[in-house]
Amino acid sequence: MNDIYILAARQISAQSPLCEAWMDTPVSYDEAYVRSIDPDYKPYFAPNAARRLGKILKRALLTSRQVMEACRIPHPDAIITATGLGCIENTGFFLDALTREGEELLKPTHFMQSTHNTISSLIAIDAHCHGYNSTYSHKGISFECALLDAFMQLKNGSIQTALVGAHDEMTPDYFKLLKRIGYLGHATNGFSGETALALMLGSVPNGQALCRLQGIEMQYGTDRAALQQTFGRFLQQLAVGPDDIDAVMIGVNGQASNDRCYAELCPVLFPGRKLIRYKHLFGESYTAPGSGLYAAAVCLNRQRIPAHLRMHPSHTEQCGLRHILLYNQFENKNHSFILLSSCGE
């Protein structure tokens, strides 16, 4: 079976865009609703394209182009996108017009770019990629669904490279909706963020790979015994012992109901392991777990975990990293495990 490498990654988020400044100079927020820090798009898009494309599409195109350039892979074998909500700005425009003005005055513009697969197909159109193309949209595990698809195809050798993206925008209206149902906006030390992350995965190392993607496993349901079993089998298959894991990256976000699941499960699943976090940097979104993987990959690459990622600030910075495990749960119902390892391992 092929090894799989994360060859490059680019993000636009609540942190400084298109760089890893968050490692040493993280931006922190007090408000509950945070939009991403957009780079200046002028150098990258013609004025008419910049006007036509919504934020989510500009971010997706730019992050994707940059990882393709960084790896010199202009035509990845697969383009696989995760988006929990899709192009909600365009969807919102069309829905608003439909509900306020009725069915006779609608225009196609916003509808045409409202489907979830707009992102993945636009990246393909932009890069002239005729290969495998798919889009996953499953709540807080959308990213893992996309990653799993790429992982299986890289492992079986049907593809050698895959551009995997995690893209979600958050409009003021949709934030209001998700606040009503308690998913966002009630955090004490977390915020709603937007995700734009592009990763290049490949089965051939390129000398600048961030880390290796060793395995991914998902589990649906509330049965904790089954979850423990799944995790045990996951490590066993990868021939990694619990003590080999240097840190576990988890999705705590300041919401009581979310964080309680981690508080209950982490001591059972990963006793004694150091816990690290990422949502204080990138915020909560359906595809936020993509940012968790990105942050862990950068830590493995630079061989250090900055103190501000640590759940227990008393712990000092850590060096000599080999394995970081990512554990994500969504509504205590969807669970995922991803193991990243340093390239040397």
Q: Which residue ranges make up the site for another protein (CB under 8 A)? A: 79, 83-86, 94-96, 98-100, 102-104, 106-108, 111-118, 120-122, 124-125, 127-139, 141-142, 145, 148-149, 152-153, 155-156, 173, 176-178, 180-181, 218-221, 226, 286, 333-334
334 vs 342, beta carbon nearer another protein:
334
Closer to another protein by CB, 164 or 309: give it.
164
SS3 state at 273: coil
Nearer to another protein, 135 or 301 (CB): 135
Q: How far is 20 from 295, CA to CA, in rounded Å?
A: 9
| Least Å from the CB of residue 16 to another protein | 30
Nearer to another protein, 42 or 130 (CB): 130
Question: Residue 35 CB, nearest distance to another protein (Å)?
Answer: 19
Neighbour tally for 47: CB within 10 Å: 9
252 and 311 Cβ atoms separated by less than 8 Å = yes
CB nearer to another protein: give 19 or 98: 98
Q: Minimal distance in Å, beta carbon 186 to another protein?
A: 14
| 193 phi-psi bin (left φ>0, alpha ψ -120 to 50, beta other) | beta
112 conformational bin, left if phi > 0, alpha if psi -120 to 50, beta if neither: alpha
Distance CA 252, CA 235 (A): 23
Rounded Cα distance between 138 and 141, Å, is: 6
Q: What is the length of the chain?
A: 345
Closest by CA to 146, choosing from 90, 197, 205, is 197
Query: DSSP readout, 91-126?
Result: HHHHHHHHHHH-SSS--HHHHHTTSTTHHHHHHHHH
Strand partners, 247: 324
- Minimum CB–partner distance for residue 139 and another protein (Å): 4
Closest distance to another protein from the beta carbon of 115 (Å): 5
* Closer by beta carbon to another protein, 169 or else 246: 169
For residue 211, the minimal CB distance to another protein (Å) is 22
